[in-house]
Amino acid sequence: MTRPETRKVAVAALQASFGLDLDANISRTAELIREAAGRGAQVILPPELFQGPYFCVAQEERWFKQAHPWREHPCVKALAPLAAELGVVLPISIFEREGPHYFNSLVMADADGSLMGVYRKSHIPDGPGYMEKYYFRPGDTGFKVWDTRFGRLGVGICWDQWYPEAARAMTLMGAEVLLYPTAIGSEPHDPSLDTAAPWRRAMQGHAVSNVIPVVGANRTGFEPWENYPGGGQLFYGSSFIADHRGDLVQAFGREDEGSLVAEFDLDFLATHRAAWGFFRDRRPDLYGALTQGRPA
């Protein structure tokens, strides 16, 4: 009797630096997608807002012109056909405009190039160097899990990755891999503050607690602030792929550019997740405080 093949998926994280030229950024991302696909990757994750520099370092209205409806966004129009050409799944991070509303969003392109829908970032940060509340409304899509050709994928965007509730919700919805496109680096108000290690550890914790692989894709390089001489943001890279134990199976340093690729056995993970009992032993009846804004 022939044993049926197990379900496996090869995931990739891209890490690169980006400038002001939209077309150049798309071309660089496409180049890395081709590289990752050539190494066998089936699900390929670019960093957050790779369309240009991370503009949320200050409040400048000129950047609103860079937003587009999600189906018409230049990154989507360029990369969805590439997904079809290569037969890969691409979660595409964009600055989205819907009427008078603006979102930090992600469009999921399946391996045939079809657009499966949009996720809008749920948690919007606001602080020195990360002034996203000026640009983005809180997402109104809820958490999303997409049943792609290569498995069920849950995706959060940057600040979402710090919230265990988001990771747990997506896993409860059937996610088999969690993906987090990111733009994070230096903290302008405190040059001594380095969040690279806790950034990784937070997501490694999601992997352990949900028995699920986690992929984090960050940008790298120094981006000067055009209208603020001497200022800028140094993005610390450190993109990674963690397995269901939270172990780093692939990882970049702070300045590397390229793609990381790792393969996972989804059938093994499903059985292993059941064996751990985290979802069997949950007590939602005791978790009311999690749904209250200010629990007593």
Q: Is the pLDDT of residue 221 over 90?
A: yes
DSSP state of 66: G
Active site residue: 56, 96, 121, 223, which one? Answer: 121
pLDDT tens per residue across span 125-177: 999 999 999 999 999 999 999 999 999 999 999 999 999 999 999 999 999 99
Q: For residue 194, which of 230, 238, 158, 246 has the smallest C-alpha distance?
A: 238
DSSP state of 139: P
Q: What's the token pair of residue 11?
A: 């995931």
Instruction: Judge contact between 49 and 95, C-beta under 8 A.
Output: yes
Catalytic annotation present for 48:
yes
pLDDT tens per residue across span 17-35: 999 999 999 999 999 999 9
Catalytic annotation present for 121:
yes
Catalytic annotation present for 56:
no
H or E element, residue 32? helix 22-38
Active site residue: 75, 158, 176, 223, which one? Answer: 158
Q: What is the pLDDT of residue 296?
A: 74
Active site residue: 48, 96, 132, 176, which one? Answer: 48
Q: What is the pLDDT of residue 153?
A: 98
* This prediction's pTM: 0.95
Using CA atoms, how far residue 154 sits from 20, 99, 147, 172, 181, in Å, is 29, 26, 9, 10, 12
